[in-house]
């Protein structure tokens, strides 16, 4: 059985958490490899809904879960999320949850800086979650940020924290009346260190040990590929690399170990925040999709912008990530539409193009060229056998598969964790899940 890396192949909110939850029973370890608590993975188990932002989704299945070094960790939120899951009878300890000791620490003032910046940008804002992810990554790249292992020595912690706060107070003094308190921040970290450090390990040394030689690994990405800092719609992107290659960097393993790359796509498209969105629907149809799909951010509760499926965008994501197969989600959201559109080309002036431009100036002016197909106007929620899906729904899926030139292997057709159809099962070494 191959290791698998799961990534979102649009602008996030594709349903990655549900797919991780569906597959992780076949794996020994679930590894989160980038982002921070700006992610939002939702898992529905019967009447229970679990929303995770920093913790790997595999904890719901009681799997060994590891957070890699490319993740920025807010210790307050990390412990709060653990407490919330424990209250809901999810077992969490240092035995089934580990964090990289070289992961960066996200501090309370990072969110203050984030929000001050967004406010000053006004109409030119990026549309961040305001949780301090960007400023924390900046400190990491500038080599002034704190690492988890800095908590081990309070003298080292004090010196590094003082230098970091002194730097940021110069910025805040000029832009706002706010000032970071060193004493309060230091006191907070000292109070948390004994709770955080038991979870911390050298992840690379741990995962490359003989014990894990034959273990099956599932790597879990956070934000979508179109939010990648290098390959996304810059500057309207997140502050980390969301591509699968980041998994190898974050965990400290050879790239070949990330295995089969599974991309997750919605049957339509959404994005949160600012930035170009060629297939965005600004009519009542977009509002209907949002209502049917409950398209509100699980972290921010912001309404998501909705649009038709964009095969041009998806082809780009598949190329930059090396995606091998696709999980197509939320097909049930389109159940009541008589006509459904699929973008297969862009038009710039009189010129037609088959690829998604990098330049935002160009991208915001492209016009989508649509293929219009008949909707199936029938309920697909909860269907377990693909042969029982309406023929027009099957046709829709096959058209998407052809346009993106990548096999669709899973189909999600409802909010519950078991609302998944194995469309094509590509992993010959795996037995098919019993529930299907």
* Active-site residue list: 13, 41
Using CA atoms, how far apart are residues 87 and 420, in angstroms rounded to an integer?
Answer: 28
CB atoms within 10 A of CB 344: 20
* C-alpha dist (Å) from residue 147 to 13, 70, 93, 233, 238: 29, 11, 21, 29, 20
- What stretches of 349-432 adopt beta strand conformation (E)? 351-353, 367-374, 408-412, 420-422
Cβ-proximal residues to 61 (8 Å cutoff; 6+ apart), any chain: 21, 24, 25
Asked if omega into 274 is within 30° of 0 (cis), the reply is no
**3-state SS, residue 26:** helix
CB 129 within 8 A of CB 111: no
Closest C-alpha among 30, 8, 55, 33 to residue 250:
33
Residues forming a β-bridge with 196: none
Tokens (6 digits) for 335: 């159940």
Interacting residues of 46 by C-beta distance below 8 A, sequence separation 6+ = 416
Query: CA of 268: how far to CAs of 6, 109, 282, 341, in Å?
Result: 19, 37, 14, 9
* Residue among 26, 27, 24, 57 at smallest CA distance from 41: 57
């Amino acid at each position: 059985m191959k290791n698998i890396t799961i990534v979102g192949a649009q602008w996030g909110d594709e349903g990655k958490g549900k797919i991780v939850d569906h597959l992780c029973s076949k794996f020994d370890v679930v590894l989160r490899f980038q982002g921070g608590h700006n992610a939002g993975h939702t898992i529905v188990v019967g009447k229970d809904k679990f929303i995770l932002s920093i913790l790997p989704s595999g904890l719901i299945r009681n799997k060994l879960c590891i957070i890699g070094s490319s993740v920025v960790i807010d210790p307050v939120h990390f412990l709060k999320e653990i407490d919330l899951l424990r209250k809901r009878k999810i077992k969490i300890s240092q035995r089934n949850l580990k964090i990289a000791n070289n992961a960066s620490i996200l501090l309370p003032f990072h969110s203050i800086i984030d929000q001050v910046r967004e406010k000053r940008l006004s109409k030119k804002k990026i549309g961040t979650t305001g949780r301090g992810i960007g400023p924390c990554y900046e400190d990491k790249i500038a080599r002034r940020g704190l690492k988890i292992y800095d908590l081990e020595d309070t003298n080292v912690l004090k010196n590094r924290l003082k230098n970091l706060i002194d730097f940021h107070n110069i910025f805040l003094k000029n832009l706002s009346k706010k000032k970071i308190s060193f004493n309060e921040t230091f006191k907070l970290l000292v109070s948390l260190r004994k709770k955080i450090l038991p979870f911390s390990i050298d992840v690379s040394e741990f995962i490359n040990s003989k014990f894990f030689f034959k273990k099956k690994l599932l790597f879990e990405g956070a934000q979508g590929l179109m939010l990648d800092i290098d390959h996304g719609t810059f500057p309207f992107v997140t502050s980390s690399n969301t591509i699968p290659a980041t998994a190898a960097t974050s965990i400290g393993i050879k790239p070949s170990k990330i295995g089969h790359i599974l991309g997750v796509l919605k049957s339509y498209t959404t994005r949160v925040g600012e930035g170009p969105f060629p297939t965005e629907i600004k009519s009542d149809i977009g509002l209907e999709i949002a209502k049917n799909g409950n398209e509100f951010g699980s972290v921010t509760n912001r309404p998501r912008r909705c649009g038709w499926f964009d095969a041009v965008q998806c082809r780009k994501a598949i190329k930059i990530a090396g995606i091998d197969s696709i999980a197509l989600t939320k097909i049930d959201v389109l159940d009541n539409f008589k006509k459904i559109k699929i973008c297969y080309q862009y038009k710039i002036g009189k010129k037609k193009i088959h690829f998604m431009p990098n330049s935002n100036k160009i991208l915001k002016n492209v016009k989508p060229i649509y293929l219009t197909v008949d909707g199936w106007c029938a309920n697909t929620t909860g269907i377990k056998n693909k042969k029982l899906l309406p023929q027009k729904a099957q046709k829709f899926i096959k058209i998407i598969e052809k346009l993106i030139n990548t096999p669709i292997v899973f189909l999600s057709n409802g909010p519950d964790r078991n609302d998944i159809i194995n469309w094509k099962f590509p992993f010959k070494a795996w037995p098919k899940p019993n529930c299907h």
